[in-house]
Structure 1
Amino acid sequence: MTRFPVRRLLALALASSLSLPALAQAAEPFTVRDIRIDGLQRIAAGTVYTYLPVERGETLDQAGAGDTIRALYHTGFFEDVRLDRQGDILVVTVVERPAINKLTLEGNKDIKSEDLLKGLEDIGLSEGETFDRLALDRVTQELHRQYNNRGKYNVTITPTVSPLNRNRVDVTITVKEGKAAKIRHVNLIGTDSFESEDIQEAWESRESSWLSWYRRDDQYSKEKLSGDMEKLNSWYLDRGYIDFNIDSTQVSISPEKREMYVTASVTEGEIYKISDIKVTGDTILPQEQVERMVIPKVGDTFSRALLELTSDGITNTLSNIGYAFARVSPLPTPNREDRTVAINLQVMPGPRVNVRRILFKGNTRTSDEVLRREMRQFENSWYSQAAIDRSKVRLQRLGYFETVEVETPAVPGTGDQVDVVYNVKETNSGSFMFGVGYSQLGGMTTTVQLSQANFLGGGNRVAVEAQRSDYLQRYAFSYINPFFTDEGMSLGYNLWWRELDYSDFNTAQYNSTNAAAQAVLGLPITENSTVSMLFGIDSNQIQTYSGYTPEVIVNYVHAIGRRTFHAWRTEVGWARDTRNDFFMPTRGTYQRVGLETTLPGSTVEYFKLNYEVSKYWRLSPAFVLRTGLDLGYGDSYGNDIVRNICWTRPTVENPTPGASDPCLTDSPDYARTLTASGLPFFENFYAGGTRSVRGFRDNTLGPRSEVLGGYRGQPLGGSLKTVGQIEMLFPKLFDTRAARVSTFIDFGNVYDSTDNFDAGELRASAGVALLWRAPMGPISISYAYPFKKKEGDEIERLQFSFGGSF
C-alpha cells in the first residue's frame, strides 16, 4: 500500500491568485455562451452546475473566475480545479477526491471502535464519503490527544490510505496504544496542616499501590488530575480554609514516557468561623421550615460541603412540590480581620413546573402500559424529582432493562412545563433453553426450559420446564400476573411433579416423588413492601431402602403408618425491597419473612419459618459490600404421632408376616413403640455448598445418621438453619453488567433443634467467586478455603455450576 499524495492543500486560500492561462490571453472579460465540465467520474455534472456562481449568458471576469474556483473547492468534492476558455466556452477541469471504500480501525483497546467510528463520522470520515486528507490529519491529532489524556504517551497512530480502482481508497488507522504512564510520585507542597495520605484518600490519581491493578489510580490522566485538584480545593474549603489557593500544578514525565511526577504547591490560609447565617429570597415554604433545613450553625467552622448539602436539601424539597428549576445560592461575606464569614442563602424558586407528558424510548418489546404502571410521577401534575427518581428505580428493578436513563426537557415555548422521557435499553427477559448443564452436586443435567419474565411484552411471567439429571426429574409450569388488578395485586399458579433420589443429593438415602398445585397471591402494602399468600395441595411419596436408609427415617415412616404424605399447604410472607437494581444492586436492602404451614387434616402437621436479608453498602464506585443472613426454623404442632410396632417370625403358613399395629398376637417376637415428632425429615434444612457455605460439599453440614456397615453417617439436615455471608463485590473489574467478581466469608450450620444450637459448631470459609450471566446460561465458580472446620467435614474448595440460576 502507498500513501495518497497530498496535492494543493492550500488551493482554497490561493484560489484567487491562480493563473488562468486562457483567460489571461483574452485580456478582457467574456460572455459565457456555454460551460463544459471535464474530469468527472462519480459526481454528476448537474451537481457541479448547482455550485457554480456563473451561468450561461453572464460575463466572467478575473474576480468571477476566482469566485468560481473558491466555490468548487468549498464543496470538498475536488482535489484540483482549473478554468480554461475555448472561444466563448468556459471549460472547468476538475480532479475528484476519491471516495472512502472501507474504513478500518486496528489495535485500539482503550477506546471502543464504536465510539471512534461515530467520532470519525462526525468529522466526515466514514465509508461512502469523500476522502479528505485534512480530515484524516485532524483525526490523527485528536486520537493522539485522547490517548495522551489517558496517560498513554507512547501511542503511535498510523493512517494508511490505499488507492483502488474507480477513484476509491481504503483507509486503515493502526493504533499501537502502548502502556499508560504511571504516577511515580505525588508531591504536595504547603499542606502543613494535614497528612498528604489523608488528603489523597479519595483521589483518582495516586501513586502505585497493591490495589492499583484494580483501581487503576496510578495511571495518569489529565481529566482525572483536574478533578483531583478540585477535590484538593474542596478538602480545605470543607474545613474552613476560605483563603486556600492552589498556586501551581506541574506534571513532568520521564524520558521514556513511562513515569509521571505530579507536584502541586498550595497556600492554606486561616480557618474561618461562621458569624451569621440567614435565608433570604422567596422560600415558598414557611421561613421557619426552610431555616430548619440549614445544617451549619453560627460559631461552626465554615464548610462548603455542609452548605452544599443544605442547598441540595432545600432545592430537593422545592423540586418535590413542582419547582423543578429552584436554586439556592450560598453567598459568603468573609471578614478577614477576625477570620469569620457571614452566609446568605438566597432562595430562587423559579416557576412552578407541570409535567405535560411522560414518554418512553427504547422499549421495542415491552408495552408502554407495563412501564407506565411503574410511574410515580404522573402527567398533568406538579413536577416531583423524588417521584421521577422513584419511577426510575422501579423500572430498573423490573429486570427487563439493562439501563434506564431519564431526562426532563422543557416544552418549547413554555417556561413552566416539561416532558419526562425515560430511555431504556432492553435486555433478554426470557429464554428458550435446550441444553446440558453440569454441577458437582447434580452431575449432568438435561433441561428443556421456556421462560419469559415479560411474556409478549405484557409483564406477565410464564415458565415451562422439563429437567432430568442423575438425581432429579422435574416437570413444572408456572404463571404469574404481577398486575392482576390496577392496584398492583399479583396472582399466579404453580404446577409441578418431581422425582428426587436423595442418595445422589449428598443426603440420607431415600426416594421422594412429589406433585403439587399451588395458587400465589401478592399485594403491595407500601412502596417497597409486599405481602404474599400461597395455598396449595401436594403429595409426597417416600421410598426407603432396607439397610441403607438411616433408621431414624425408617422409624418415622413406620410411625406415620404410610409412605405417601398428603398436605394442604399455606404460606404467608412479607418482603421489603429497597435495592436500586435487579441484576447488580449497589445499595439497598432486601428482606423477607415467610411462614409455611400444613393445615389440620394433612398427614403431618408442621410449620417452617424463614427469614432472609441482604444489605448492600456502596463503599465507593469500585467496592460494594454485601452482608446477608438466612435463618430457618421448623417444628410440628399438635400431638406427636405414636405407634406400636409388632413383629413375628415367619412361619410356613405365613412366611412374610411383617409388622402390624395393633399387635395381632399376645406374644409378638418383637415389639417397639415409635414416635413421629418435630419437623418431618423431608422438610429439613441443609447447609454447605455453592448457595450457602462454600468450600464444604453441598448439604453435608449438620447432624448425621448413625454409622451403617462401617460407613460414615449420612447427612440428615436439621430443623434450625443459620447461614450468613459477608461479601465484597467489585463492579468495576469487568466493563459489563453480566459478570461480577467478589471475595467472601461464609459461615453457618444446621442443627436438629434449638436446644442443640452451639455457636462453636458453626463452620466458616473464605474465598473468591465469579458469577457470569453467559448467553448460554448462568455460570457460578468459587474457590473457598474453610478456615473453621472439624475433623470429618467434607471439603470441596473448587465449586462450580452451569445452567442453574444465581
Structure 2
Amino acid sequence: MLPLPPHRLFRPAMAVVAIAAALAAPAVQAIEPFVLQDIRVEGLQRTDPGTVFAALPFRVGDTYSDDKGAAALRALFATGLFKDVRIEIEGRIAVLIVEERPVIETVTFVGLKEFDKDVLVKSLKDSGIGEGLPFDRALIDRAEQEIKRQYLSRSLYGAEVVTTITPTERNRVNVSFTMTEGDAAKIKEIRIVGAKVFKESELTGLMDLTTSGWLTWYTKNDRYSRAKLNADLDNLRAYYLNRGYLEFNVENAQVTISPDKQDISLTITVKEGQPYTVTGVRLEGEYLGKDEEFKQLIGIRAGEPYRAAAVTATTKAFTDRFGNFGYAFARVEARTEIDRANGTVGVVLAADPQRRVYVRRIDVAGNTRTRDEVVRREFRQLESSWYDGERIKMSRERVDRLGYFKEVEVNENEVAGTADQVDLTVNVTERPTGNLQLGVSFSSADRLALSASVKQENVFGSGNYLGLEVNTSKTGRSLVFSTVDPYFTVDGISRGIDLYYRTSRPFNSLGDQYQIANPGGAIRFGVPFSEYDTVFFGIGIEQTNIGASSGIPAQYFNYRRLYGANSTSLPLTLGWARDQRDSAISPTAGRYQRVNVEWSIAGDVRFVRLNGQYQQFFPLWQKLTLGLNGEVGWGIGQGSRPYPVFKNFYGGGLGSVRVFEQNSLGVIDPTGAYIGGARKINLNSELYFPVPGTGNDKSLRIFAFADAGNVWREGEKITGASIRASAGLGLSWISPVGPLKLSWGVPLKKQPTDRIQRFQFQIGTAF
C-alpha cells in the first residue's frame, strides 16, 4: 500500500492563489491604456526570465490595460513560483516586481520505520513536495495530516508527525518530518454477543482479524482495520445465511481503544433469528421456452435449510445461461416467501431476459508493454457476433493464464443510440515478466561457482519466451538457450527450440568424479485440441560422452566399454497434457494430467522413455485442501542394447519420496554413486491447511504429507517390499523467488543402506 496515495493527497492550493491575486490587484493603478515600450522583471533569483515572460498576456508593442495587468498577476501566481507579485508603471514601461517562493533543498525523515522511504519520497514529490520544488506551507501541512492518517490505518494510534522547516541560504528551505511511531495497537479481545446457535470460538475462527498469536507478527491480522472488519462481518453473515438463518443481522460492531492506545477490543452484537427450511422453488418470468433446461441449473433443494450461497449460485447460473444465448443484460431476481410460524421459506426465481445483443467491438486497455494481438488471439468471443457469456468467460481465463498480467477484467459497455449492441473492454494490469538472476556460491564441493540466467516470458511484448542460462558449478556446468513461440501459426500451434551443453561430474564414495557431457538440441511443437488439452511432438539430437576415471560407476564403465564413450541419439517426442487446475502455483481444486513418450529412432542409442503424471486436488471442509499426485516412469532399451544408464530416472527428495536424500533411491553402484534406474513409481499425498492467524492467505500454508515410491533397474522385479515410504509435516510459501517448500519427516519404510535426510527444502517445486 502506498503510504501517500497520489489520488488522495493534496491538490494545488488554488484558493490561496486566488486570494493572493485578489489582494495584489490593488497594486495595479487605474490608468489609461497605452502602448508598452518595455517590460522589466525585478526580484528574480532562480527563475528563468523566460518563464515569467511566457506567462504574461502582453508583449512589448501591445496595448497595456488594467484588465491585462490583473490577468498577468493571476497567471504569475498560478505558476506557483512566486510568493508575491506587483506591477508598477514607469511611463510606458511595466515593471514586474516578484518575490520568489523558497525552494525545497532537502526532504528528510527521522524515525521512519513503518513505511518504505523511497515510496514515501515519490508520493510526496507527486504531490508537489520534493527537492527542487517550490515550498508551499499548505501542502506541507496536508502532507503531515495525510501521513498521520496512514499511520492510523496501520493501527499506530499513538504515532506523531512533526514537520520542521529550516531556512538556508539563497532562499532555500530544508523540510524534515520527524516521526514518533510507537507500537502498533493490537487486538486484545474479540467478543460476539448474542450468538447462541454456534460457539463464539467457532465464529471468531471465521474472521481474519484475530488476537495476537505466535504468527501475527507476519500476518499483522491482530492490527485493527475497518476494511478487514467489514469483510469479517460479511463472513459471519454468510455463515448464518448458508445454514438457514435467513433473518440474521449484525446489529452493532463496537471498537474500543485503551487509554494508552495499545489495546483494541472488538464487540460484535448479532441477532440470529430462527432457521428456515426451503419448501420449494418456483420459476416466474420469461425463460425463452427452455424452462426445463433452466430447472437443471437450480442448486436449491426442497427440505434443506435455506442457503444463500446456493441461491446466489443459482441466479448467477441463470444469468450466465441467458448470456450464452446472447442476452447480456438479463435480470434474475430471487424472492423469498417466508412463513415464520412454520419456519419455512419458498424461493421464487423471476427472470427478465430483456433483449438479445451482439458485440460490436473489443478493445484492449492497460497493456503498456504487451501488444494488443497477444491479448486478442486468446479471445473466443468475436467482434460482430452474438454475445456469448461462456465464450467471454473462457476468453478472460485464457488471457489470465498467460501470466503476463496481475489483473484481467472484461467490462461491457452499451453502445449509445442502439438497443442491441455492446462493446467489450479488456482491462489488464501488466506485471514484470522478466527474470534476471546472478549468483556466486562457494562450497567444499564446488569451490567458486558462478551462475546467471536471463528469462523473459513476454519478450518485447510479443508473448514469446526467451531464456539463457549459464552455470559454472564444478559438479554441473551448463549453457542452455531456449525460446518458445506460443503462436507459431495463427491456429495457436506453439514452437519451442532448445540448444544446450551440459556436463555433470557427480561425487561417489571413493572421492573420485566421473564426467558426462551432453551437447544437444531439440525442436518441439504444441497443438491445442481443446481449451484444456494440448498435444506435443518434436525431434531432437543429443550426444553423450562418458569420460574415463578411476572412480567411474560400474554400469557407466561397462556401457562405455561395450558401446564406446560417445553415443548419439535422435529422439522423437510425443506428449499430451490437460490442465484443469484452478491455479498452477497453489491449486485448491481441479486436475492435471500429462503423458510424454521419448523414442530414439536413430543413432547409436535406441530406447523408449515413457513418463506419466496425474494430479487431483480436492477442496475440503474448513479451508483444507487434499492433493494427490502419482507419477510413473518407464524406460526400455531397443535393438541389441540395454536401456542407456545416462537416461535413468531418479527418486528421493522433494518432488519424489521425501525424507530420503535427493536422487538417492535405487540400486547403489559399488563405487557409492547413485545412478537411478529405468523404472520409477512415485506416489504423494498432501493435506494443506492455513497457517493459524493468516486467514485465507494461500501463499503460506502448512501441510502434512505421505510419500511412497522407488526406482528400479531394467528387468528388476517391482515388489511391495522394495517400496520406500515416508511421512511428515511441511511449509509451503509462494516466495518472491518462486514456490518454496520446507519439509521435515520420518521414514516409514526404509533399508539400512538408505540415506536419510529428515529436513529438506527446494525452490520451484509443486509436489
With normalisation by structure 1, the TM-score equals 0.73
Counterpart of 1:756 in structure 2 is 719
Q: List gaps (5 residues or longer) in structure 2.
A: 1-13
1:685 and 2:649 aligned: yes
Counterpart of 1:722 in structure 2 is 682
The 1:388–1:108 alpha-carbon spacing in structure 2 relative to 1, beyond 3 Å, is farther
CA contact (8 A) 1:512 1:540 kept: yes
1:347 and 2:351 aligned: yes
Counterpart of 2:366 in structure 1 is 361
CA-CA distance at 1:501 after TM superposition: 3.6
CA contact (8 A) 2:449 2:474 kept: yes
Deviations 1:659-691 (A, max 9, x none): xxxxxxxxxxxxxxxxx76x4433322223455
1:608 and 2:613 aligned: no
Mapped partners of 2:141, 2:73: distance in 1? 24
Greater displacement, 269-278 / 539-548: 539-548
Counterpart of 2:593 in structure 1 is 591
Equivalence map 1:435-584=2 (5 Å): 436=440, 445-446=449-450, 453-454=457-458, 457-463=461-467, 467-474=471-478, 476-503=480-507, 511-542=515-546, 549-550=553-554, 564-579=566-581
Q: What's the secondary structure of 1:630's corresponding residue?
A: strand
Counterpart of 1:202 in structure 2 is 206
* Structure of greater Rg: 1
Deviations 1:62-90 (A, max 9, x none): xxx9x999999999888789999999x99
Greater displacement, 506-515 / 192-201: 506-515
Q: What's the secondary structure of 2:205's corresponding residue?
A: helix
CA-CA distance at 1:301 after TM superposition: 3.1
Counterpart of 2:707 in structure 1 is 747
CA contact (8 A) 2:215 2:693 kept: no
The 1:608–1:742 alpha-carbon spacing in structure 2 relative to 1, beyond 3 Å, is farther
Mapped partners of 1:159, 1:304: distance in 2? 52
1:217 and 2:218 aligned: no
Q: What's the secondary structure of 1:758's corresponding residue?
A: helix
Equivalence map 1:616-635=2 (5 Å): 627-635=628-636
The 1:57–1:513 alpha-carbon spacing in structure 2 relative to 1, beyond 3 Å, is closer
The 1:168–1:246 alpha-carbon spacing in structure 2 relative to 1, beyond 3 Å, is same
Mapped partners of 2:468, 2:16: distance in 1? 71
CA contact (8 A) 2:453 2:468 kept: yes
Mapped partners of 1:534, 1:248: distance in 2? 65
> What amino acid does structure 2 have at the position aligned with 1:724?
N
Deviations 1:567-607 (A, max 9, x none): 443332111123556667676543321123344x7656543
Counterpart of 1:183 in structure 2 is 187
Deviations 1:529-559 (A, max 9, x none): 1111233444445456678633x6656666x
The 1:425–1:596 alpha-carbon spacing in structure 2 relative to 1, beyond 3 Å, is same
Q: What's the secondary structure of 1:154's corresponding residue?
A: coil
CA contact (8 A) 2:445 2:475 kept: no
The 1:414–1:741 alpha-carbon spacing in structure 2 relative to 1, beyond 3 Å, is farther
- Aligned CA RMSD, in angstroms, stands at 5.4
Q: What's the secondary structure of 1:609's corresponding residue?
A: strand
CA contact (8 A) 1:699 1:717 kept: no
1:794 and 2:758 aligned: no
Q: What's the secondary structure of 2:718's corresponding residue?
A: helix
The 1:238–1:110 alpha-carbon spacing in structure 2 relative to 1, beyond 3 Å, is farther
Counterpart of 2:411 in structure 1 is 408
CA-CA distance at 1:799 after TM superposition: 6.2
Mapped partners of 1:69, 1:452: distance in 2? 54
Deviations 1:98-130 (A, max 9, x none): 455555566555555677667657866566665
> What amino acid does structure 1 have at the position aligned with 2:662?
D
CA contact (8 A) 1:22 1:85 kept: no
Mapped partners of 1:725, 1:439: distance in 2? 34
CA contact (8 A) 1:446 1:468 kept: yes
Aligned match of 2:265 in 261, 267, 276? 261
Percent identity of equivalent pairs: 29
CA-CA distance at 1:517 after TM superposition: 4.9
Equivalence map 1:758-797=2 (5 Å): 758=721, 761-764=724-727, 766-768=729-731, 784-788=744-748, 790-796=751-757
CA contact (8 A) 2:221 2:693 kept: no
> What amino acid does structure 2 have at the position aligned with 1:287?
D
CA contact (8 A) 1:274 1:301 kept: yes
Mapped partners of 1:488, 1:356: distance in 2? 22
Mapped partners of 1:546, 1:593: distance in 2? 39
Counterpart of 1:669 in structure 2 is none
The 1:718–1:768 alpha-carbon spacing in structure 2 relative to 1, beyond 3 Å, is farther
The 1:758–1:279 alpha-carbon spacing in structure 2 relative to 1, beyond 3 Å, is same
Aligned match of 1:193 in 181, 193, 197? 197
Mapped partners of 2:540, 2:25: distance in 1? 97
CA contact (8 A) 1:612 1:630 kept: yes
Count of residues paired in the alignment: 733
> What amino acid does structure 1 have at the position aligned with 2:408?
E
Counterpart of 1:394 in structure 2 is 398
Q: What's the secondary structure of 2:578's corresponding residue?
A: strand
Counterpart of 1:657 in structure 2 is none
CA contact (8 A) 1:32 1:90 kept: no
Equivalence map 1:61-72=2 (5 Å): none
Mapped partners of 2:499, 2:97: distance in 1? 81
Q: What's the secondary structure of 1:408's corresponding residue?
A: strand
The 1:482–1:211 alpha-carbon spacing in structure 2 relative to 1, beyond 3 Å, is same
CA contact (8 A) 2:612 2:632 kept: yes
CA contact (8 A) 1:521 1:533 kept: yes
The 1:440–1:259 alpha-carbon spacing in structure 2 relative to 1, beyond 3 Å, is farther
Mapped partners of 1:521, 1:58: distance in 2? 78
CA-CA distance at 1:200 after TM superposition: 2.5
Greater displacement, 153-162 / 39-48: 39-48
Mapped partners of 2:591, 2:265: distance in 1? 43
1:698 and 2:662 aligned: yes
Mapped partners of 1:797, 1:440: distance in 2? 22
Q: What's the secondary structure of 1:530's corresponding residue?
A: strand
With normalisation by structure 2, the TM-score equals 0.76
CA contact (8 A) 1:147 1:153 kept: yes
Equivalence map 1:138-149=2 (5 Å): 138-149=142-153
> What amino acid does structure 1 have at the position aligned with 2:666?
G
Greater displacement, 717-726 / 434-443: 434-443
Mapped partners of 1:489, 1:13: distance in 2? 64
Greater displacement, 128-137 / 116-125: 116-125
Q: What's the secondary structure of 2:229's corresponding residue?
A: helix
The 1:343–1:580 alpha-carbon spacing in structure 2 relative to 1, beyond 3 Å, is closer
